[in-house]
Amino acid sequence: MPLSQVRHQPEGIGILRSVVDGRWSSPLMLVGRKGVGKRFSVRQAAIEHFSQDGRDFHEHQIKAGVHPDYVELGADLGVDAVRGLVAQTQSMPMLASHKYLVIDGADEMTEAAANALLKTLEEPPDFCRFFLLTDSESRVMPTVRSRCCRVRYSPLPEHVVVEGLSEYEEDPVKRVVYARLAEGSVGEAVQFWSAGKIALRNRVFQLMTKVMSADLPAIMTGVDELAEELSLAIRFYDHLLHDLLVMSFSPDRISNLDLADELAKLRKGLGPRLGLLYTDWRGMRTVFDRPSLVHEFHLKTHLLTLFSG
């Protein structure tokens, strides 16, 4: 059963099984971090659903992205693309009993695109199943949200992410590092591995060590150089700070296992100032959720707290 290949998402599996069995037809909004299996589970549900007619080509066509009754929108979520998707609801399925219409990144739809979808979402034809995928429910337009049933996808356990990385990364320690930095998302862990994001993590760590050497201009420049990937850099900084805090009493729990020695040295150098740093950081977490603020300046100020302390 294809749907049983989806692991550790009981809520998602349960409701998708209802869709496959014909007990659920309303639009669904699958909410969860990127790379935890939202799109995969919808594809598996489609394969299982379509294959009920006993023909085995559905699976190949869906996996190849050429099945006429399985439509995914993702890269382009403009009004024209969404209108094209809506047009799909005006014709009967060609090969299967139903049509699966998937919008991956529902929070990235423009306002016009979302409005174009509203009426169809309200009363979709009997043969259509709508799936809206998002990692940030609050950013989806309220009018769209209210027309969908929410299904939560939780982060995957660490061993699942590590297992997912096994075909890419040979070093078992690095596999764990990527898994912990990706916070339960296989997709993100693989992306970190393929895009070499560990280098960014190393730059963030270098920045922390610069604070110890009291090189103020280097701190300013260092933060400015991170500007393009600041949100990810901030996440890595959060992990590093967490590691510094927990490494003395629970060294196995640290995310950056490959930097354990360097972190120990940094922790020793920081001494009691680590508490000050962590307290300051905790107070700043809400700042980074507000896109309008000047995040670089806030990060610099935070690092200077340690410097002046």
Partner 1 sequence: MNGPFIVAYGDEPFLLDSRKDWARSQKRSVTMLDALDGLSDEDVVSTCVTPTLDDAKRIVVVDNAQKVKGESALKEYVESGGVSDGSVLLLAIVRSATLPSVWKLAGQSGRVHHCKKLAPWEDEKLVKFVRAEAGKIGLRMEDNVPFLLVQQVGPELHRLVMEIRKMLLLVGGRKASKKDLLEIVAPAVPAEPYQAVEAAFRKEIKKTLRLSALVYEYLGEKASFLLSNALMRLIEKLLVTKHLVTKKGATVEVVAKRLGVHPYRCKLAYVDVAARHSLDDLVGHMKTLCRLDETVKGSARSKRTHGELALLSIARGIPVCTS
Cβ of residue 299: shortest distance to partner 1, in angstroms? Answer: 10
Cβ of residue 277: shortest distance to partner 1, in angstroms? Answer: 14
Cβ of residue 244: shortest distance to partner 1, in angstroms? Answer: 21
Tell me whether residue 163 or residue 280 sits nearer to partner 1 (CB atom): 280
Residues numbered 218 to 237 that lie near partner 1 (CB under 8 A) are 220
Cβ of residue 292: shortest distance to partner 1, in angstroms? Answer: 5
Q: Which one of 54, 142, 217, 271 is in contact with partner 1 (CB under 8 A)?
A: 217
CA distance linking residue 164 with residue 254, whole number of Å: 20
Residues numbered 269 to 298 that lie near partner 1 (CB under 8 A) are 287, 290, 292-294, 297-298
Q: What is the DSSP string of the chain?
A: -GGGG--S-HHHHHHHHHHHTTS--S-EEEE--TTSSHHHHHHHHHHHHHGGGS-SHHHHHHHHT--TTEEEE-S--SHHHHHHHHHHTTS--SSSSSEEEEEETGGG--HHHHHHHHHHHHS--TTEEEEEEES-GGGS-HHHHTTSEEEE-PPPPHHHHHHHHTTT---HHHHHHHHHHTTS-HHHHHHHHHHTTHHHHHHHHHHHHHHHTT-HHHHHHHHHHTGGGHHHHHHHHHHHHHHHHHTTT-GGG-S-GGGHHHHHHHHHHHTTHHHHHHHHHHHHTTGGG-TTS-HHHHHHHHHHHHHH-
Of 42-50, 156-164, 211-219, 262-270, which segment contacts partner 1 by CB under 8 A? 211-219
Is 308 one of the binding residues for partner 1 (CB under 8 A)? Answer: yes
Of 117-125, 216-224, 225-233, 248-256, which segment contacts partner 1 by CB under 8 A? 216-224
Tell me whether residue 182 or residue 223 sits nearer to partner 1 (CB atom): 223
Residue 104 β-bridge partners: 133
Helix pair 260-270, 230-246: axis angle to 10 deg: 80
Cβ of residue 276: shortest distance to partner 1, in angstroms? Answer: 13
Tell me whether residue 220 or residue 257 sits nearer to partner 1 (CB atom): 220
Of 59-67, 117-125, 161-169, 214-222, which segment contacts partner 1 by CB under 8 A? 214-222
Site string for partner 1, 161-200 (x = CB under 8 A): ----------------------------------------
Q: Which one of 216, 257, 264, 276 is in contact with partner 1 (CB under 8 A)?
A: 216
Helix pair 38-50, 57-64: axis angle to 10 deg: 150
Cβ of residue 304: shortest distance to partner 1, in angstroms? Answer: 5
Residues that bind partner 1 (CB under 8 A): 214, 216-217, 220, 287, 290, 292-294, 297-298, 300-301, 304-305, 307-308
